Amino acid sequence: MENNKKFLRTLLAAAVTTTLCSQALADNAEPIKVGVMLPFSGIYAALGDAGRNGLKLALQEHADDLHGRQIEFIEMDTEAKPEKAPEIASSLLDQHHSDFIIGPVHSGVAMGMIKVLKDKDTIMIIPNAGANAATGPLCAPNIFRTSFSMWQPSYPMGRVALDSAYKRVVTMSWNYGAGRESLEAFEEAFTAGGGKIVKQIMVPFPKTEFQSYLSEIGSINPDAVFVFFAGGGAVKFVKDYDALGLKGKIPLLGSGFLTEGTTSAQGPSAEGIRTTLHYADGLDNEVNTKFRQDYRQMFGKEADIYAVQGYDAGLLIAKAVDKLGGDISDRAALIKAMESTKLLSPRGEVSFSKAHNPIQNIYLREVVDGVNKVMDVPAAKLEDPARGCKL
């Protein structure tokens, strides 16, 4: 009996000490500094805005996981200009001492950030940019991605095109890393199954005068067209494709960025477009339904993939901080906590590969009444090959 009482007293004392310790940690701890490097102006402004909104929503909803630590955001506009990246990343690293840097949208900006941030103590979480190298040859312990590699959403569309019995396809994109890698991934799958790329058209970024290229496509008359465009460029491209009379004649395919956050501006021109992506607004699961409702309530607009990816960057931070009881000073422990985190994302379950890239489903979607409706899952739990990553 006496032994039992002693045991209970010891247990109680231990519990009080733990509570006091975490209270003391919360009282004394500095806020967690989160640098945000996204485009708030330029052709990708809407993508940056959605990413920031998603990030803030997650950290607000999961404030209880932070063990009393506050979040301090330091926001920087990249303008989607690669030449601005090193300077902004250096200032978030050296002047602001960010614990995390969330960014960017544009693959060229990602390359500039990685040059500065690779193997540093600050954790970089990429909430969009798909540059294969970020989780390929340039992978590093402190670099994570909550979005996709360019290969991931485009490769499965090559197979979908073959299944649709298309044999001759024209591909088209802005001429920069992300665009080139998207077309390459489509081509890899499509030509492996006997398909032929009859013409590849590259347009300078961020140019949106598409008419002359579309006339050329009309005269080639391929079985289908596969493109990578996003943001303001995707709106313009889809409308021009319709206005020049190609819609209804030559099927338009793309990685899903072509119809993300853009369908209301594209209107009827977007109807029927088939794309592949790791998300669809019409995805029917509880997490997605709640996320879309909360997002609508907080920001007065519809969520899209960019909002989801920002949200998941916030979730990843919250889950890792929670695992460590609020103390993120041991960076190796923080990286380990992040690596083993599984996210219940609005896109479905997400875990991380050895290269720190999401392992995720790729959905085939079709625009029906302005919504990206899920038609199939052409690749379940797809892992990027992470060619060249030595982690």
What's the min distance (Å) between Cβ of 24 and ligand PHB?
Answer: 43
Q: Give 106 or 356: the residue with its C-beta nearer to ligand PHB.
A: 106
The verdict on 84 binding ligand PHB (CB under 6 A) reads: no
- Identify which of residues 166 and 186 has a Cβ nearer to ligand PHB in the complex: 186
* Nearest-5° Cα angle at 341, 353 to 338: 80
Query: CB-wise, 129 or 273, nearer to ligand PHB?
Result: 129
Structure tokens at 204: 């300078």
Q: Contact between 92 and ligand PHB (CB under 6 A)?
A: no
To 10 degrees, the CA torsion angle through 204, 207, 211, 217? 40
345: tokens are 């994302």
Site track 131-160 with ligand PHB (rule: CB under 6 A), x = hit: x-----------------------------
Rank residues 143 and 230 by Cβ distance to ligand PHB and give the closer one.
Answer: 230
Binding segment for ligand PHB among 69-77, 99-107, 243-251, 278-286 (CB under 6 A)? 99-107
Q: Indicate the residue among 61 and 184 with the shorter CB distance to ligand PHB.
A: 184
Query: Is residue 107 within the footprint of ligand PHB (CB under 6 A)?
Result: yes
Is residue 386 a contact partner of residue 139, using CB atoms and an 8 Å limit?
Answer: yes
In the complex, least distance from residue 120 CB atom to ligand PHB, rounded to whole angstroms: 22
Tokens, residue 383: 């892992």
3-state secondary structure of 369: coil
Q: Within positions 306 to 335, which residues make up the interface with ligand PHB, using CB under 6 A? A: none
- How far apart CA 62 and CA 315 sit, in angstroms, is 7
Of the residues 56, 69, 106, 274, which one makes contact with ligand PHB according to CB under 6 A:
106
* Cα–Cα distance for residue pair 13/53, rounded to 1 Å: 42
Backbone angles phi, psi at 62, to 5 degrees: -110, 25
Indicate which single residue of 160, 230, 273, 321 sits in contact with ligand PHB (rule: CB under 6 A): 230
DSSP, collapsed to helix, strand or coil, labels residue 50 as helix
Nearer to ligand PHB, 42 or 130 (CB): 130
Cα 380–Cα 384–Cα 388 angle in degrees, nearest 5: 165
Nearer to ligand PHB, 147 or 353 (CB): 147
Q: x-or-dash pattern for ligand PHB, window 110-129, by CB under 6 A?
A: ------------------xx
Asked if 235 touches ligand PHB (CB under 6 A), the answer is no
Distance CA 1, CA 127 (A): 57
Q: Which residue is nearest to ligand PHB (CB)?
A: 230
Q: Which amino acid is at 238?
A: V
Q: How far is the CB of 16 from ligand PHB (least distance, A)?
A: 50
Structure tokens at 187: 């081509």
In DSSP notation, 222-267 reads -SEEEEE--HHHHHHHHHHHHHTT-TTTS-EEEEGGGGSS-HHHHG
> Which residue, 107 or 288, is less far from ligand PHB as judged by CB?
107
Residue 107 C-beta: closest distance to ligand PHB, Å? 4
Dist CA 269 CA 265 (whole Å): 9
| 178 forms part of the interface with ligand PHB (CB under 6 A) | yes
CB of 263 to ligand PHB, least distance (A): 14
Residue type, 377: V
Under rule CB under 6 A, which residues in 255-274 are in contact with ligand PHB?
257
Tallying the residues shown for the chain, one arrives at 391
Strand order in the sheet with 100-102: 71-77, 32-38, 100-102, 123-126, 143-145
The site for ligand PHB (CB under 6 A) is made up of 105-107, 128-131, 178, 230, 257
